Amino acid sequence: MTQNGVAARPLALVTGASAGIGWAFAHRLAAQGYDLSVVGRRAERLAELAAELPGAQVRPVVADLGTDAGIAAVADLCASEPLALLVNNAGVAHYMPLTQLPADKAAELLHVKVIAPTMLSRAVVPGMVSRGTGTIINVAGMLGFGAAAPPQGRVTYVATLAHLIALSQAMHQELSPQGLQVQVLCPGVVATEFHTRQGFDLSAIPRMSADDVVTASLKGLALGEVICAPGVEDAELLKTVEQAELAAFHGQSPELAQRYRN
């Protein structure tokens, strides 16, 4: 794409850009030649981020993706801007047992990690398809594979990550023939303010840096990975999980399984 005969910089939109993984994505993408729309709830942090990236055109977008209005506003941008890359990174933890998680916090979590990524992806895809290119990164986490892992007390949060994994896999199947690339990024515990803002002190636990997570994601795109797990050394484990899921899916029949018969 050119503007007045000059090659235009590709445009990326990053949610949850005011800290952590989103902040690291913004810095890395700007260094790689992207202009940015950076989305977050804290205007002052977005302004600080923009000031740190003088080589890029940075549009701060203050929006709360925990609300319908915030999602709609950002979805409008996704639909109207020629985005080359969408990074659905925004998140809230709300680690609580299902019966103790207040309804408003549950709704916020579902908006941020389920409704927002789904609706922003829905909004951006038509333009990407028409251009024959585009990339979507959905930031989930390894807990999306760990629903049965202890400890207890994070039911809704774990379920939202599993949604992002399934969403991304299905989007890959649907959209890769049309030139789009989809990745779900699944780090473990990352050294950001994500947990401290929820009142958790994880300083004693080994954690990966946000920069390393972004490095893995971008390298994973180059490798063609749909599931990028920065801390999993044996990538065959991820293939094994996917193959087991497909085996179970294809192992069904219209006949009642023998174990359910008298």
pTM score of the predicted model = 0.93
Helix 155-175, helix 103-110: angle, nearest 10: 20
- Closest by CA position to 61, among listed 108, 121, 120: 120
The Cα–Cα gap between 252 and 254 comes to 7
pLDDT for position 95: 83
- Kindly state the tokens that stand for 141: 């986490």
Strands (DSSP E) contained in 92-179 are 134-139
Query: ω into residue 117 within 30 of 0, thus cis?
Result: no
pLDDT for position 207: 77
**Catalytic site positions:** 157
Query: Per-10-residue mean pLDDT for the chain, 262 residues long?
Result: 63 96 98 98 97 96 98 98 98 90 96 98 98 98 92 90 98 98 95 63 76 98 98 96 96 96 92
- Kindly state the tokens that stand for 11: 């445009």
Burial class of residue 14 (count of CB atoms within 10 Å of its CB; 0-12, 13-18, 19+)? buried
pLDDT for position 1: 47
pLDDT for position 220: 98
Question: 88 with 121: CB under 8 angstroms?
Answer: yes
pLDDT for position 202: 63
